[in-house]
Structure 1
């Protein structure tokens, strides 16, 4: 069998720099729609082409279906009508709809479409560990269910199941499946899919933002962008401008904060909310079973933040 090789970089269907936005809550733990709107407006004004709502960082496991829809509607109102990100003028909203149940995932997809999302992010069904033919069928059924473009979310460290590269290549033939949020930690497998499909890849792990972009990814879905959106965008802007050494310096400058937020033993939701609260930005508490960062952790986060964003 022969394979064709893609010679062009996929167009970014949802923009280039997306933030995996936290879901702000009030002090009592209810949904803070005003805070969500203010945070979304800040992220967009500081360089994000799009926002991922109701993802892992958005505490999707502990928000209700109704809350998910309310959040999409509120943020859509705050940042403007449907958009296409980088080229569309208005920021994109990519809604997390993935569950371990195909039927429920389709219901959330329809809900997201009605609420104003531009696309849906569908994680591999988790816990039940379906085989690859079942994984493939799941994604196809979701993509067939609405007119929204689908981004696959490959994060086997959380779901227990990989979207294998060969499965990804087959899924790329579906006209509704346009993108991948890549947290597989398989750089070779990612390059294999990039070379053989037109899927728009988004780095889902902040330490990979520049490396994946350099081999043809469309951009990134960044948790760290909750707190340093300007810096995350500047890395990719520098690369696009041909200033590759500067892009590398900027990526390295952010590395201590990336490590503190994403690789220090706490979920990114916890660390992002701790920093946002310390910076006076909308966030609020996390929902159980997650617990807030302690003082020692917050001090380390703030030190790493100051290293990434030095005082003028």
Structure 2
């Protein structure tokens, strides 16, 4: 199977809807999934960074994966964020996600502890060896404090269970080089670079703004695939204001939740500390 068949093409890094007391809002989750499926997402990333994964318990993550997998069955792939800085814990979470119905796994570079590149390789291989689900690597050095070196990515690309990478490093020259020398499918993980990544061979997107812009993202992907660069540029330029608004802060979840709540897609814009709701929501501007 191709990476597109395993993971989808127009993926959304979902927020996790929460109630004002911080508990997960299952009605909000159902509404968000329905919105994303209706607007053209074919891959749903659950419990990733935008889903506030550092604040979710294992039980909550399993609950989220089960609920989304049930609702999206046959309509979109469900990719579970499982990465931690501990290999044993990450393997356990991979098994739990598989049992909960995930179609694939998102494996972030181990954060905070800053292992060597050999340690990163061993960690990713151990996780990929321990699951039957396809694995998408996640390279996001501005969050983890550690970038995957090109040689590491090349080595991991040879693993039979590692099929893709979500690239939030933003080094387009490196990405183009690796797309030409490995079979790894690239997914753009930085919304303001969606156009150049797709135009230079990326398979698809894992988008934060896609919580609100899955339809334009689908239009962008289609325009690139049909060689309609003028339309692709027009779509991309039309999305710059919302991309800027949602990702202006270091964490996109509060702004994205505020917008979703304002539109009535989720009932509340609540986030868990240490994240904080946007100023407008704290003053009553969000639900």
TM-score bracket for the superposition, by shorter chain length: over 0.9
Aligned equivalents of 2:145, 2:193: Cα separation in 1: 21
Q: Distance in 2 between matches of 1:246 and 1:185?
A: 23
CA contact (8 A) 2:85 2:113 kept: yes
Give the C-alpha shift of residue 297 in structure 1.
11
Cα deviation, residue 283, structure 1: 5.7
User: In the aligned structure 2, how far is the partner of 1:73 from the partner of 1:11?
Assistant: 22
Deviations 1:259-280 (A, max 9, x none): 1111x22411011001001111
Structure 2 segments unaligned to the other structure (5+ residues): none
State the TM-score, normalizing by the size of structure 1: 0.87
1:60 aligns with 2:73: no
CA displacement at 1:41 relative to structure 2: 1.6
Whole-angstrom CA distance in 2 between matches of 1:31 and 1:283: 11
Q: Distance in 2 between matches of 1:72 and 1:11?
A: 20
Distance in structure 1 (CA, Å) of the matches to 2:4 and 2:43: 14
Q: Partners of 2:267 and 2:140 in 1: how far apart?
A: 25
Bigger shift: residues 27-36 or 146-155: 27-36
1:228 partner SS: helix
Secondary structure in 2 aligned to 1:95? strand
CA contact (8 A) 2:36 2:214 kept: yes
- Do structure 1's residue 276 and structure 2's residue 269 form an aligned pair? no
Secondary structure class of the residue paired with 1:13: helix
Partner in structure 2 of residue 159 of structure 1: 144
Q: C-alpha offsets along residues 110-133 of structure 1, whole Å, 9 cap, x if unaligned?
A: 000000000100000000100100
- The answer as to 2:252 corresponding to 1:259 is no
- Indicate if the aligned counterparts of 1:13 and 1:200 stay in contact, CA closer than 8 A: no
Q: Does the C-alpha gap of structure 1 residues 40 and 10 become closer, same or farther in structure 2, counting only changes over 3 Å?
A: closer
TM-score by length of 2: 0.94
Match of 1:18 in 2: 11
Tell me whether 91-100 or 23-32 shows the greater mean CA deviation.
Answer: 23-32
Separation in structure 2 between the aligned mates of residue 276 and residue 11 of structure 1, nearest angstrom: 27
Question: For residues 193 and 11 of structure 1, what CA distance do their matches in structure 2 show?
Answer: 18
How far apart, in 2, do the equivalents of 1:241 and 1:252 lie? 18
Closer, same or farther in 2 for the Cα pair 1:233/1:297, shift >3 Å? farther
Taking structure 1 as reference, are residues 52 and 106 closer, same or farther at Cα in structure 2, changes over 3 Å only? Answer: same
Conservation of the 8 A alpha-carbon contact between 1:235 and 1:247: yes
CA distance in 2, matches of 1:226, 1:211: 21
For the residues of structure 1 that align with 2:282 and 2:28, how far apart are their CA atoms?
24
Partner of 2:41: 48
Taking the aligned partners of 1:266 and 1:124, their CA distance within structure 2 comes to 18
Hey, what's the Cα distance between the residues in 2 that align with 1:208 and 1:176? 27
The answer to whether structure 1 residue 293 and structure 2 residue 278 are counterparts is yes
1:27 to 20, 24, 27: 20
Residue in structure 2 matched with residue 250 of structure 1 by the alignment: 235
Unaligned runs of 5+ in 1: 1-8, 84-89, 299-312
* 1:179–1:202 contact (8 Å) kept in structure 2: yes
For 2:21 and 2:135, the matched residues in 1 are separated by 34
Q: Aligned ranges for residues 64-83 of structure 1 at < 5 Å? A: 64-80=57-73, 83=74
C-alpha separation between the residues in 1 aligned to 2:228 and 2:281? 37
Aligned to 1:229: 214
Equivalences, count: 284
Partner of 1:309: none
What is the deviation of 1:296? 9.4
Contact persistence 1:22–1:283 (CA under 8 A): no
Residues 136-175 of structure 1 deviation map (CA, whole Å, 9 limit, x = unaligned): 0000000000101100000000001111111101111100
Q: CA RMSD in A?
A: 2.0
CA contact (8 A) 1:172 1:199 kept: yes
